[in-house]
Structure 1
Amino acid sequence: MLEIIFRDEYFIAVNKPAGMLVHRSWLDKHETQFVMQTLRDQIDQHVFPLHRLDRPTSGVLIFALSRDVASRAMPMFANHEMSKTYHAIVRGWVEESGRLDYDLRVELDKIADKHASQDKEAQKAVTDYRPIAKVEIPFSTGKFPTTRYCLMELNPLTGRKHQLRRHMAHLRHPIVGDTSHGDGKHNKLFREVYDSHRLLLHASHLEFIHPYSKQVVSICAKVDQTWQKICDEFGWQVAENN
């Protein structure tokens, strides 16, 4: 059963669990659970995806409840008229807020994109980031006896594939649990010490002007038990920030 966090006659939003695909894909033939099909069965109504979240990312995921609504709302995502806020736990301490304007090359899939051109130009990618809290824990991942982590608020101003994960890795503050762009030593520490086997990236807030009512819609999604346990351990208040 998916947690429904917003619904009106036009849209429905859920708090997507980490590890769940948005919809069926031939690239994941062995998967049996998908957000789109699960939600459709749960509300007994077809839903139309307006955007995606990576499989390991949790948080706000919104669907249209009709094809007409989807066609009207899709350009809002394409034109970045929807404000998205994410939270992430990253390696190291980030001392100041900033904006990273760093172009990203198209990330191709080995199977799906095997015939695609490998020399596409890098695309503009912009992310605002803000440190919220930090911690130093008594476990070593290298030459120092302790290790530092930071809770971040991230706002992507563009929508490139794996943008937040790649941008934080570029800043040398990879997101914990990222097996593609992260640091294995830190991922292992969180698995063994905090029983965290997921990417610590959460889409916590989505805001937009409703295309029909013209009112501001603000949708929040709380973190899951894994996140909450870590935040309690570190003395962080991320749940109240969502």
Structure 2
Amino acid sequence: MTLDILYQDEDLVAVNKPSGLLVHRTDLAKHEQDAVVQRLNEQLGQWVYPVHRLDRATSGVLVMALNEQSARALAEQFMQRTTEKRYLAIVRGHTPSDGVIDYPLAKLNEEKGRSRFKIEGTEKDAISRYKTLEHFTLALPVSRYDSMRLSLVQVQPEQGRTHQIRRHFKHIFHPLLGDTRYGCRHHNKAMREYWSPELRLMLHAERLAFDHPRTDQRIELTAQLPIDMDNLLQQLRTENKRD
């Protein structure tokens, strides 16, 4: 149950967060007792301070402070957007070689029993830049098509809006594989039958860069792909070689 520590000193600690683990306990998941904060409290024997978050299903680099002063300094960097974040995602379809998604994001009405819709007047600027790393084509029927197309993309969001990458790629009709909220149910169903019923959101925080809160030295951290996402990519590459 211990977390993979990528970096640690007297001011901060960074881990490779596994998919499926909350960053901290929330009112939206009151029944969940397990979270990164609680694990690190026990693992390090001291309190940790979250300064940013990753979605529960997202894996990758997550940094936390070990004192209040560092927490304030790191949180300010995220607010001022002086950090650099890079993600890897597997998405539906064959994406262009690169692109910029400039699409303001509004809050969504989350009232139980009602379909989600935008709350007018809450829009905020949101820009995501991406580069396509690989295209895949599987001889796997999905919906009305006789094959499935997927892409591996590298994404750099300029902001950190809630579900920014997931909502942006839905907006350009290339939703993330395994996304049960904004994704394509046909692709998700077909891939669960083909690959694994445990298919999860294919989004990984690969790299995070920021200034050290005490020394101002630029810190660059990378997190290795989790086994499930790496295995899926290897399988997709193998299938494409056969073609």
TM-score where L is the length of structure 2: 0.91
* Map of 2:105 onto structure 1: 104
1:203 corresponds, among 202, 205, 208, to: 205
Q: Is the 8 A contact 2:108 2:119 kept in 1?
A: no
CA–CA separation in structure 2 for the residues paired with 1:155 and 1:108:
26
Q: Distance in 2 between matches of 1:210 and 1:72?
A: 9
Q: Report if the CA contact (8 A) 2:70-2:214 is conserved.
A: no
Residues 234 and 118 of structure 1: CA distance in aligned 2, closer, same or farther (over 3 Å): closer
C-alpha separation in 2, matches of 1:164 and 1:233: 24
Q: Which amino acid aligns with 1:223?
A: L
1:235 maps to 237
Q: Which runs of 5+ in 1 are unaligned?
A: 112-116, 237-242
Q: Which amino acid aligns with 1:179?
A: T
CA–CA distance in structure 2, aligned partners of residues 83 and 43 of structure 1: 26
1:105 is paired with a residue whose SS is coil
Matched residue count: 231
Alignment of 1:157-168 (within 5 A): 157-168=158-169
Work out whether 1:6 is the aligned partner of 2:1. Answer: no
Post-superposition offset of 1:186:
0.9
1:138-159 deviation line (CA, Å, top 9, x unaligned):
1011232211100000000011
C-alpha distance in 1, partners of 2:90/2:74?
31
1:215 & 1:98 partners in 2: Cα distance? Answer: 31
Deviation at 1:231, TM superposition (A): 1.3
Structure 2 unaligned spans of 5+: 113-117, 239-243
Alignment-mate amino acid for residue 209 of structure 1:
D
Name the structure 2 match of 1:240: none
2:128 paired residue number: 127
Match of 1:156 in 2: 157
Identity %: 37
TM-score, normalisation: structure 1: 0.91
The Cα of 1:73 is off from its aligned counterpart by 1.6
Cα deviation code 1:114-173 (max 9, x no counterpart): xxx943331111000110001101101123221110000000001111110000000100
Secondary structure of the residue aligned to 1:22 is coil
Distance 1:212 1:25 in 2: 30
Q: CA RMSD in A?
A: 1.6
In structure 2, C-alpha distance between the alignment counterparts of 1:110 and 1:154, rounded to whole Å: 30
Q: Please tell me whether residue 216 in structure 1 is matched to residue 218 in structure 2.
A: yes
Report the CA distance shift for 1:38/1:126 in structure 2 as closer, same or farther (over 3 A).
same
Partner of 1:18: helix, strand, or coil? coil
Note if contact 2:85-2:156 (Cα within 8 Å) is conserved in structure 1: yes
Q: How far apart are residue 32 of structure 1 and its match?
A: 2.3
Letter in 2 for 1:13: A
**How far off is 1:18 after superposition?**
0.9
Q: Which amino acid aligns with 1:53?
A: L
Counterpart amino acid of residue 195 in structure 2: Y
Bigger shift: residues 209-218 or 117-126: 117-126
* Mapping for residues 1-242 of structure 1, pairs under 5 Å: 1-110=2-111, 118-195=119-196, 196-235=198-237
